[in-house]
Structure 1
């Protein structure tokens, strides 16, 4: 069938020419198939009007997020680019078989533009210092509670409490933290007091445009977080005897802690404390950026630490407090007043 052949050819183009991951290719193919079913027409008869109707359906009935809709539209646009390209001869093949040819149905005027780097929910925000202290204290208390009651799970609770401290202490994404190994910690000659935890090599940073995971080195700037990791690695990690030697965050069954596990534990603690339901582990990363800026760190340094390509992205993650803004206002105002004297 022509449609299946188009999908197969598109998959080869993405896999061979663009070196995309198979998961990305499969996800895009599923989007194209969904649109094909919705339009009740094959690609050589698709129209911009059908794209408009599908977008309306995604918004009004399925309530998809803006970023999801844009991703769907991007998949359709890329597929149309492929089947309308003269290099792959699908226009000629369709004209010969069906008397018509495919056209591009995604345009600037009927698709969502990607105008910002962060497209998460507007309700997502950095956690305050008080919220983070409250949250981490509660996580530590769950270890003591499990030990006091003689229940299983004390090791896991200790591990997860340390996970949250690392996400915040080094400004990591959940996926980056989950895939850490013991060997990813390094000494920093400029900070010998931090021992073997002076810097952290992140090997599984966010991919962009089909590239491999981005790597970066994050310098340790929170001594209390270093102490927590040191204690976990020295006293708790060795008790996971079934786990592979390299894994930093193992499970009791010998596997590796997954992102979903981190998200579920965070949600359980958040709800138990009655914190804002919109808070997720990624908010700890936002908090790292915000608090570093508040504490006077150079924005360029923070940008490198969290692996943002553009300074504008770091700015989007920042939500400085009123006290910080007032301090900066006072500094600028005093400077201006001195200049006028």
Structure 2
């Protein structure tokens, strides 16, 4: 039995296998992988979907041609009630399972004929609108997630700097990774970057901005690993430097820290030369937040949320902030904006003052 590069069954003949169930299921996954590759989906997305389908099969102890909607109810009901999976996770898993069932149930790929020959039945779709989650609103993020306040942000950066000094004073080698991560967190905030975007930065990604010469050679940051659209490569964008203190942080790292870790181009390498891992970053970030007693609603993405919020608070044009963040739509930027009470009070005050002035001018007339 074999499948082609598009996921279609080429030949299933009359060969009898000792365990045909396992062989057919394995070939289904191989064919589905080929079909997804032809759609230009990322390897990470495909591997994650394959793991979900395998996990579903192991949980139900049944094969795709035996699956029923009841299996879907039981599996995802357990994920929500027992494992407390997030709503977005449930929907993502259900989308993957639905896509797999559509693939194996389609007569275009030939799995219906294979299953009829070996098992006397055929696979069918088991995910429907009435037994899966619906994407009903634009923003479904965890309501606990929020940006830093300015006081919290300063305390966090101070804690990161103190860790570098503490380890260096003890004469341990760990000061360099601590220094790297302290700079990485600041860069993520200063240019409003996602975690994966900041991890993939290289020293050659900075350039001069002829309209802002005060930033020197760090006036523009080219982001090459922006969040990709479905089936597309990473989205590139340029982010203009807006904070005058940010250039000093990068310059100091490139002079005092980066040369001791690598002679390559990666801005934030690990001790082994690869990119710094997300796990290591999350671990250090969470430890600093715990040390400061900050709420669990903060994560590395909160640095990006803070960037958008603070630019809006400082009076930056909303369209400029949208382009800086790399959002296709203004509504997406609005979801990130958590304008502080102080900003809202000042905005209201300006509006009220304007109303009062107009009213007084009218009385004088």
Confirm or deny a common fold (TM above 0.5).
yes
List alignment gaps of at least 5 residues for structure 2.
Answer: 1-22
Deviation at 1:260, TM superposition (A): 1.9
Q: Which residue of 2 aligns with 1:11?
A: 33
Cα distance in 2 for partners of 1:118, 1:178 equals 26
RMSD of equivalent CA atoms: 2.1
1:326 to 338, 345, 358: 345
1:231 to 240, 252, 267: 252
- Structure with bigger helix share is 1
Q: Deviations over 1:32-84 (max 9, x none)?
A: 12222333332223222221121111111222111211111011110111122
Q: Report if the CA contact (8 A) 1:118-1:316 is conserved.
A: yes
Say which SS state the counterpart of residue 203 (structure 1) adopts: strand
Bigger RCO of structures 1 and 2 (CA < 8 A, at least 6 apart): 1
Say which SS state the counterpart of residue 215 (structure 1) adopts: strand
Q: Report if the CA contact (8 A) 2:147-2:303 is conserved.
A: yes
Say which SS state the counterpart of residue 200 (structure 1) adopts: strand
Say which SS state the counterpart of residue 268 (structure 2) adopts: coil
Q: Which residue of 1 aligns with 2:65?
A: 44
List alignment gaps of at least 5 residues for structure 1.
Answer: none
Q: Which has the larger radius of gyration?
A: 2
Question: For the structure 1 residues 291 and 303, does the alpha-carbon distance in structure 2 shift closer, same or farther, using more than 3 Å as the test?
Answer: same
TM-score w.r.t. the length of structure 1 is 0.91
TM-score w.r.t. the length of structure 2 is 0.85
Q: Kindly tell me the number of residue pairs found equivalent between the two proteins.
A: 338
Q: Report if the CA contact (8 A) 2:72-2:127 is conserved.
A: yes
Cα distance in 2 for partners of 1:155, 1:40 equals 49
Deviation at 1:173, TM superposition (A): 1.1
Q: Which residue of 2 aligns with 1:159?
A: 180
- What pairs with 1:164-175 in structure 2 (closer than 5 Å)? 164-175=185-196
Q: Report if the CA contact (8 A) 2:270-2:277 is conserved.
A: no
Q: Report if the CA contact (8 A) 1:244-1:254 is conserved.
A: no
Say which SS state the counterpart of residue 257 (structure 2) adopts: helix
Deviation at 1:2, TM superposition (A): 2.7
1:305 to 324, 344, 350: 324
Cα distance in 1 for partners of 2:300, 2:36 equals 32
